[in-house]
Chains A and B, each alone.
Chain A
Amino acid sequence: MSVDELILYSAKEVRANPDLFKEYIRLYTEEIGKKPNCATCQFSGTYERWVGNHSTASKKLNKMSNNTFTLIKTKRAIVVPFTGGQVINEDATDDLVRLYLDQVQGAARVVREANFTKLPDEPKAVEISAVPKAKRPRKKVRNGKG
């Protein structure tokens, strides 16, 4: 088990599961160079701090959507107008962001785009496979008379 996999579990879950607990001791010791403090009263704090140090990796794993945009740091949520309260957050879809941006044009769009450090990628064009030409029925050629 890797660190990224382990930190998806809460301190309580790790403490209660001997296999997870053993993995925690192993990974922590490998990284820090000494065993973690596992006394009951200290365990949660030590574990949470260790998880916090890996939060970036954790976020990546927890991310529910494979979107391609990035919100600016100061913007955690944008409620998209006329959608009954759909929210753009880090897990939102690219389509929702495109919908938000496409609601306005020109300078107003530029203002909305400023909420993102990276805009969503263009949607991939659907490849339409070439339609096979229908075979022309061959004329039956009668002997010598076409």
Chain B
Amino acid sequence: MEENRIRSRWSGLRRFFAAFVNQANLLGRTFREGDTRTRLSFVLMGFGNLVRGQVAKGLYYFLSEAVFVVYMVLFGARSLVGIVTLGTKTQYIEAIPGQVPKVIRGDNSMLMLLYGVATVLLVVWFIATYFWNISSAMQAQRAVEKGEVLPGLRTEAREYLDAKFHVTLMILPVMGLLLFTVLPLLFMILIAFTNYDSSHQPPGSLFHWTGLYTFKALFSNSGVLGGTFWPVLGWTITWAVIATASNYVLGMLLAILINRKGVRFKGLWRTVFVMSIAIPQFVSLLLMRNMLDDFGPINGVLQHWGLTSKFIPFLTNATFARLSVLVVNLWVGIPYSMLITSGILLSIPKELYEAAAIDGASPFRMWTKIILPYVVFVTGPYLITQFIGNINNFNVIYLLTGGGPSGLTYYQAGKTDLLVTWLYKLTVNTRDYSYASAIGICVFIISAILSLVAYRNTKSYKKEETFQ
């Protein structure tokens, strides 16, 4: 099993490289077998299509080349250099006696990196287009040699509603992804390997490539950054484990309770709980924050009834705050798992219950021996998704405590801060972008490992094709 999987991953890599070799071969073969018009397409993209009557296609390739060349000459080449240097001229203030001091603009490392990454993406797109152009020229030549009629614009266009419909479907979403997810993410990942922190802010000053320096600082046992990272990571994991487990078990109990045979008004009960999912979290959680305030209504009522003489620091004492977020998270999370497990509980084969009842099993034993194993088995992937979701559970922490109470020995973090809320604070409050990115990469690695375990082992991933 294990061996197979490793082998299949290697073969995946091999296929990846084989694809490159294939493309290179295609170039060679086309050059050998192509006629002059096809060969000219190597330099003048779209030439082969254009002279053989496929005007629209030819023009598209030709214009792509033209746009690309103009862009590279005017701008692109410079940004490719910029991504290496990240700027050399620092901005400074020229003070000539007797005149108003003047700011002499230097390089802006941030923009240079951003444009550099964008240019790299553009180059990748151009290389792909270039290969399409070559193979399209060869195809046109072959078709003409065989005496076939070349597909015109209308036929080709119709293809995009049929055999190539996936291109039509995916072009817009993929462009959206490239612009708003891939480009920003590549940019931010690269930032983790620079010193773009609060003391290196463009345009005032430059930042540079620093390799793994940020990660070393983050993982070090000494130093304020490492002294924050490890405790925050520890709390993140603790939080995720407790939050996931408690929500899951209690949600399931609630589902069992509502789905109990004799209980009526099931829809009404469910609706009450579903309401807490429906109310926007910034409303419900901000409200909870104020309810749990030192001078808020809960403390007010407790003191009014004489249950406590002083306020309880629900959100201002580290231990209390950690407990409070876990408890409030139950309010938010139980209805979700109730909804999910409800569906599953109804799908448990009735025979299982009946057999157990005949054998004289108590309700508790029934729950631990039948329901729990069955539901855990079916919801395994969901459980792991929930765990990852809790590691990234920004809203509950940020809206309730804002990460506080602040840890005095921490850098920009509090006692209830998760990695993601710390990341957010570093981004927004202090602009320590390189630290923030490094933390983001850590969160990614944690999620990636967990997801690999979850997805690779599920049947639906392995046997996707047979399932359909």
A pairs with B: no
Seen from chain A, the residues whose Cβ lies within 8 Å of a Cβ on chain B are none
